[in-house]
Each structure stands twice: as C-alpha cells, then as structure tokens.
Amino acid sequence: MEENLSPACTYRIVFDVFEVRMSHWIEEPSIYRVADGALLFDLKGDVWSADRIVWHSDSVVEMQVRKYPGRVSCTLTLDLAAQTGRAACGTDTYTGFLPDLKAWVLRY
C-alpha cells in the first residue's frame, strides 16, 4: 500500500512494508497528523498488517488488521480528532483512548 490520506488531508497513514517469509508481506500502519507530523497511532511492537482502510470522515478511519501469520484479525474504528477508538477482535471488543486501545490490541 502507498501512503493513505484522509479526505481533507488532515491525517495520513504510512506503511512499513517488509517481507517475513517468501511472498508473505506485512504492511504495518502508522497514523500521523499532517500539520505537525505527530504520531497518533501505530501497532509497532508486534507483527500487525493492514488489509483494508476506509475513511468514514476526515478524522474517522476504519482499519481491518491481522496479526501475522493471520490467525487473529481485528477491526479498528479510530476517531483521530477525539483520540479515541473501538477495536473488535473476534467476539472481544474494547473502546477507549488510542494508547489504551493499542495496548489492548497488542495483547493478542
């Protein structure tokens, strides 16, 4: 994936892309605020890859992510302006501030 901008270009998602095995590529997302370059959310610390990105508004993004090797997947809905989000991993869900949401997802 290439860089992915929000509709009004307020936020951008960039991907660290790397190969973990032959033909197994990880596209690890990080979300930044364009105005000051501040990192707002990422899933670094584990091997999570973005499969689908949908912007619902300029500040609300939904990402389908999976943990390599693909046994766990989560849907993340992030409100970047409010710094909050919701994660659904199977039947488990969590709603909270972005740093807490990241910690909850990384426990899988």
pLDDT at 70: 72
pLDDT at 20: 77
Nearest-angstrom CA–CA distance, 79 and 30: 14
Q: Which residues contact 49 (CB under 8 A, 6 or more apart)?
A: 25, 26, 27, 28, 65, 66, 67, 68
The stretches in the chain having pLDDT less than 50 are none
pLDDT at 1: 62
pLDDT at 104: 96
